Amino acid sequence: MPTGFENKKGKTKASFAPSIDSFEITTNVQEYFTQIKDPRVERTRYHLLTDIITIAILAVIAGGEGWEDIEEYGISKQEWLKTFLQLPFGIPSPDTFRRVFERINPKEFEQCFRQWVQSLVEKLGVEVVAIDGKTHRGSYDRESQLKALHTVSAWSSEHRLVLGQTKVTDKSNEITAIPALLEILDISGCIITIDAIGTQKSIAQKIIAANADYVLSLKENHPTLHQQVKDWFATAQSNGFKDVDVSMSQRIEKGHHRIENRQVYTVPVSQLPALHEQNLWAGLTTVVMVVRSIQHWNKTTQEVQFYITSLKSDAHKIGSAIRQHWGIENSVHWTLDVTFNEDECRIRSLHSPQNFSLLRRIALNALERESSFCRSIRQKSRQAAMNDQYMLSVLAAAFPNSTLS
């Protein structure tokens, strides 16, 4: 009689090799986070910091959403965890996990995160880097007058990896956070895509100075420039782009019970009259119009968006970069909210919201890297929770042999 889950051909689905060395893999995991200083005083260090961080990473990969979930994962997997962790006093309590992550320096944690991601992408190369902000809605505390955490993340659609994250300070906004994120990333040779709030002359200048290119969304926050580009495209399009050096690409996609027709038009700025403050936009080379017609079962909607870019006029290349930018909303923000319930999380004390946010992004990257089990992130997470060998497969894919030592 056959056992387990079988497909139509009688072969077992998703079997994971039992020969993975759990001690070696978890050693690799821990090595990436050795630079984090232990925030506890010496006399209260009953549990090793590396054990605490490792259990937290594993628990969040397995779907843990808070300190109690992390402890519960540790207790349920204690015999397995003891094969590669020291656990001198057993599994830490939820309060221990909370106190440690409240006080871990998030900048140190983020630096370790970036070094880990860099080890994954340095040989693969990154072409398009999408940058966007996200508000962690559940992290506010009305009684303490604490605002919700807002972070800015960088995403590589090609490798499906969060490359970095930085916090937007309470008295600031994304306009100041984006340059800070750009400074800590190696963006040389990349195409940086940013939504309208990041369409700033200083940000364009920083991207060009870093030997990168930009595609910036142009909306009403630059009313004069936006209106100029909008009016020019309206006139040129009505004349069929006669005598205009225009590049055009079209793509039709079907899915989610709709048909989307996307047309991209790119024109060198030399074809347009002088634009408002054109010389202040470093590297400005091309203006872009994207027309999206979406046919639903009962209606058809259309939206038009404009962009400015330092890239040469190439509708296919620029359109591809714009399309990849939308991936940060669909593959990162949506997944974090739906799979990891980030918006519902009420962790909000001291540094814990920022550090737990980074744990989720570590988990997302790790699950994205594992490719033997071709399922959704949610299903991968559940498989990792139930199957220790699959958890090791996730870690093996995400944490190759470290080169830090």
**Nearest to 266, CA basis, from 219, 314, 234, 233:** 314
Q: Render pLDDT for 259-276 as a digit per residue (tens, 0 to 9).
A: 889 999 999 999 999 999
**pLDDT(171) > 80:** no
What global pTM score does this model have?
0.86
The rounded distance, in Å, linking the Cα atoms of 5 and 288 is 50
Taking Cα atoms as reference points, which of 292, 285, 253, 257 lies closest to residue 269? 285
> Model confidence over 280-324: pLDDT tens digits?
999 999 999 999 998 888 888 899 999 999 999 999 999 999 998
Give residue-wise pLDDT tens across range 44-76.
899 999 999 999 999 999 999 999 999 999 999
The two tokens of residue 112 are: 């370790």
Give me the pLDDT at residue 138, please.
63
Which among 322, 310, 318, 306 has a CA at the least distance from the CA of 282? 310
pLDDT higher than threshold 80 for residue 137: no
d(CA 350, CA 134): 19
Domain spanning 111-334: CATH superfamily: Transposase Inhibitor Protein From Tn5; Chain A, domain 1 (3.90.350.10)
Q: H/E/C letters for each residue in 20-65? A: CCHHHHHHHHHHCCCCCCCCCCHHHCCCCHHHHHHHHHHHHHCCCC
Per residue in 197-207, pLDDT tens? 899 999 999 99
Mean pLDDT of the chain: 88
CA 95 to chain centre: 29
The pLDDT of residue 125? 62
Section 352-379 average pLDDT: 94
Given strand 286-295, what is the order of strands in its sheet?
161-167, 149-156, 128-136, 191-194, 213-218, 300-309, 286-295, 258-268, 247-255
Report the alpha-carbon distance of residue 111 to residue 131 in Å, rounded. 18
Residue 363 in this model has a pLDDT that exceeds 90:
yes
In the chain, pLDDT over 90 holds for what percent of residues?
60
CATH 3.90.350.10 positions along the chain are: 111-334
CA 263 to each of CA 131, 199, 286, 306: distance values in angstroms, whole numbers, following the listed order: 23, 22, 16, 12
